[in-house]
Each structure stands twice: as structure tokens, then as C-alpha cells.
Chains A and B, each alone.
Chain A
């Protein structure tokens, strides 16, 4: 889509200089500290990120009653696990999980902007923020999923969740085949952010 527009050759260098200038001025004028931006970014290295969501999904796979609790009352279920502080913090104050199963495939979207469940998934990837996904995801979800490599059988219902108020949705994907021998940590390693927003399935482990 960006092929339609023309940009100056120094598009990125200009933005990099402008944001550095802005940060420098804000620090000079006491709006933020010189460590403020790094404090923000550090949070998303260690506290909030898809590493949390993957653990939650892995636990849901090994413990069906946890999965039920997770879908019924997401914040309370998440609080059962040993996860970093802040799981009900910024952009996670009201999270809700929906589970894929044999009859339903769930897709999360924010048509108005890019609302995303920060504590369990970290920051949204480019595809989620892109206006083309935001436009087409509610109009033709199966066609969009096909572009992501996901074929939803005609017999399955597709549920699209538009995050237009306080709720931050995420998906518990189906457990793939050939994973009975894996422990929770190994299961978590299979789970991608895309599978937790509904544009990917979790791939079975590579056979050795």
C-alpha cells in the first residue's frame, strides 16, 4: 500500500533526527528525564510481553480447569500464576481471553486504533496496527486469515472481537498435535503473539 506514496530518500534519517531532537529538548526542559524513555522500554523487556501470554496458554493447555477459569474470569485466573507485577496494569486493566476450539476460531482487532493487551502480549506488531488489517478484518476475516496462512474450515464459526472500549482481548489458541511429551515451558515456547491474537495457529513442534 505504501507503494502508492512518494517519500523523501532520507525519510528514516529525518524521523530519527526529529525524535532525537524532541527527546533532547524534553529532557533539557524537564518534561522527562534522560532515563525516562529507557524506563518505558525496559518494562517491555522484562515485565510485559508475549512471554507472559505464552505461559498462560501453556498452563491452559495442561490444566483444563484453569482454561475454564481463564475464560470465565481472566484477571483472577492470571493472578493464580507466577507472573511479573503489573498483569492488570496499563492496557491490561480489563483483559478477557477467548478460546479457539473445534467449533470456533477467534480473531482480535481494533478497528479504531490499536488497542492491545500489553501485559500478556507486550506491544502490538505492525500487522495489527496497519489500516488494511483494521479495515478488512471485520469485513472478510477468513480472507484475511488466508493471507496469514490460516485456513478456517467452512464448518467453523469465526468470531471477531473489536476492542472498542475497556476490554483488551486475547486468544487461547488450540494445542497442536504431537505435544504430549512436552513440558509447560516447552509448550510455551511454541506460542507466538500472532496465535494469541488469532492470525496464526500454533505449529506442532518440528519432528527431530
Chain B
């Protein structure tokens, strides 16, 4: 049971942050840009809905890199570190480690270069613009990476049906919020079509195209009678594999 999959519902964490800035330090913008460029160059995009020509892109990046990659890395962190480090600190740790693990850079190179920029914070970056990559970044941001597919067969559940949420084996990544496991809800909407996920999550069950449902939960049915705010409904969009028949 990974903490990061069960954040919803944890109590006693103190007040929420009301910080409205996206980035609180200038350096955070750069790791955001690196992550997004990686997503725009991801090898899997050749087979995406828009069939981007990434095979021909003049880049040495030959991996898949999707939201699943980033999320899985964050979900893999020791839970206390997950709370300790800020959002973009987690990204910087995960992404730099990815490049070392995949052999693009060595740990020594990274630490030497880091020491250089600590001593020379305003030293220039290399000047090597890449128009083709910039064009692909624009194309990816404008057209996106939808997992929509035509539905092969029929959706198992119908709008208005009472359902029970599954409790699959916990693995490294999921799109099932932990607080919904084994809870009872009502199908509010059957989304048309089917949706794939970026990776197969193995025993967790998502990956291949399948229907997605909007499920409505009475807060009391999740947290227990008398243990929730009244007149509160929680909606979650759940892949079909996360839903069981009530009967």
C-alpha cells in the first residue's frame, strides 16, 4: 500500500497552502520545460492518435516519457521524502535520475557540471538551437496525446447502476485513488468510447483501451455515516477495470 496512492482522505496535516504562484523559484521553470520537451519527444508518440513523426526528429532522446513515467517515479519515492520535497524538487530528482539510469549522462558528469554552475550561476548554457524539436514541442502542446479509441464491444455498466469499486493488488502505479477502494457508488455517466493509458499497470489493470465511467459517491458512503460533511458528493473518473458489479 503506497502512501502516494492513498493521499485522498488523510487527516491531521494542518492548513492548506494558499500559494497561487505556479513557480516559486525561477529554476522550477526549467525542470518543467525539460519534462514537457521529453514528453513531446517521447517515442510512443509515433503510435499516438496524432502519429507524430518523432522517429525522424533530430534528437538523441529515444525513450518513452509520459505522465505515467513522471507519476510512477513520484509514487516510488519514500513517503516521507514525498512530503518533504516540493513538487518540482521531486521532478528534478526523478528526471535527473532517469537520464543517469538510461545512460544519457553519468552521475559524475552531472555532479561536476552542478558544481560548475554553483560556482558560476550565470555561466551560459550551450548555444545549440533545434528548430525541429521546437516545432514538435509546439505541435505536441497544440494537439496533445489523447488516449481515446473507438469502443470495441460494449461498456459493462450503465448510467444509474450502483457499483462497487475494486481493490486490485497495489503495484508501482495506479489511477485508482486509494480512498475509493471497495466503496459503493453510482454510475453518473458512461463516457463514450474507450481510453488507453500510457503504460500497462499489470495487476492494477489499466493500459489497453477500455470504457471510463464517471462515478458519483455520497461522501458518507466513503468516510462513514456521521464522519463527513453533509450534502457532499464526490465524483471520480474511473477506468472500467476498477469497477465491479454490485451484485
Contact = CB atoms under 8 A, between A and B. Distances in A.
Interface of A: 1-2, 4-5, 10, 12-41, 43, 47-48, 85-86, 88-94, 111-114, 122-127, 129-144, 147-148, 154-167, 193-194
B132 to A, nearest CB: 8
Contact of A41 (B33, B105, B129, B229): B33
A140 B219 CA distance: 9
B225 interface: no
Contacts of B138: 39, 43
A15 B92 contact: yes
Contacts of A90: 36, 39, 140-145
A93 B146 contact: yes
A40 B237 contact: no
A86 B143 contact: yes
A94 B232 contact: no
B154 to A, nearest CB: 19
B28 to A, nearest CB: 8
Interface residues of B, number: 105
Contacts of A13: 118, 121
Nearest to A144: B16
A85 B83 CA distance: 37
B30 interface: yes
Contacts of A140: 228-229
Given A1-B14, A111-B7, A133-B16, A19 B92 contact: yes
A134 B25 CA distance: 22
B234 interface: yes
Nearest to A122: B22
Contacts of A43: 137-138, 141
Interface string B121-148: 1000111111101100110111111111
Contacts of A156: 231
Of the candidates A24, A41, A158, A193, the one having the most CB atoms from chain B within 10 angstroms of its own CB is A24
A93 B113 contact: no
Given A139-B8, A159-B233, A167-B237, A93 B92 contact: no
Contacts of B60: 29-31
A20 B11 contact: no
30 contacts: A5-B83, A10-B118, A12-B27, A14-B118, A17-B117, A17-B121, A18-B96, A22-B99, A25-B113, A29-B104, A31-B41, A31-B99, A34-B128, A37-B33, A41-B33, A47-B142, A89-B142, A90-B140, A93-B146, A111-B8, A112-B5, A114-B87, A129-B87, A136-B10, A138-B222, A138-B234, A142-B232, A158-B233, A159-B232, A167-B191
